[in-house]
Amino acid sequence: MRIAIINGPNLNLLGKREPEVYGSTSFEQYLELLKHKYPQVQFAYFQSNVEGELISKIQEYGFDWDGIILNAAAYTHTSVGIGDAIKAIQTPVVEVHISNIWARESFRHHSYVSSNAKGVIAGFGLLSYDLAVDSLLGK
């Protein structure tokens, strides 16, 4: 099972960024735990602050990997291009958010990702990514 995790803008600052919302663990630290928890999964990880780079990675993993876990961060709410990329590929995409986007400002309530995603997991902190892996594993 090959799963690509793609994180969008400002998620490189996890651990330092608004810890009251996003926690105090860096994604690199968390990824080590995830790899340990799911030894049967081959993970790829990519983060970018650049919209086009995220689209290129979605395309790259979108045809022969088993799943993509996508936290498009702020681009979730703005990017028609990322929504179109998800529609264009074959690999199932699980949309993930660390925070509960529906409990926050109204501009975070709309997602260009959701309608083309297999499902959405939000609000469980970094555990949202574990739950996304479980969903792809059929657990």
| List of residues contacting ligand DQA (CB under 6 A) | 10, 71, 73-74, 76, 97-99, 101, 108
- Give how far the C-alpha of residue 117 lies from the chain's centroid of Cα atoms, to the nearest Å: 11
**Least distance from ligand DQA to the Cβ atom of residue 122, Å:** 7
Strands (E), 9-135: 42-47, 67-71, 93-97, 119-122
Query: Angle formed by the axes of helices 51-61 and 80-88, to 10°?
Result: 10
Choose the catalytic residue: 22, 30, 61, 112. Answer: 22
**Nearest distance from C-beta of residue 44 to ligand DQA, angstroms:** 19
CA distance 101 to 114: 12
Instruction: List the catalytic residue out of 30, 61, 75, 97.
Output: 97
Residue closer to ligand DQA, measured from CB, 126 or 136:
126
Q: Known catalytic residue: 22?
A: yes
Point out the residues that are catalytic: 22, 97
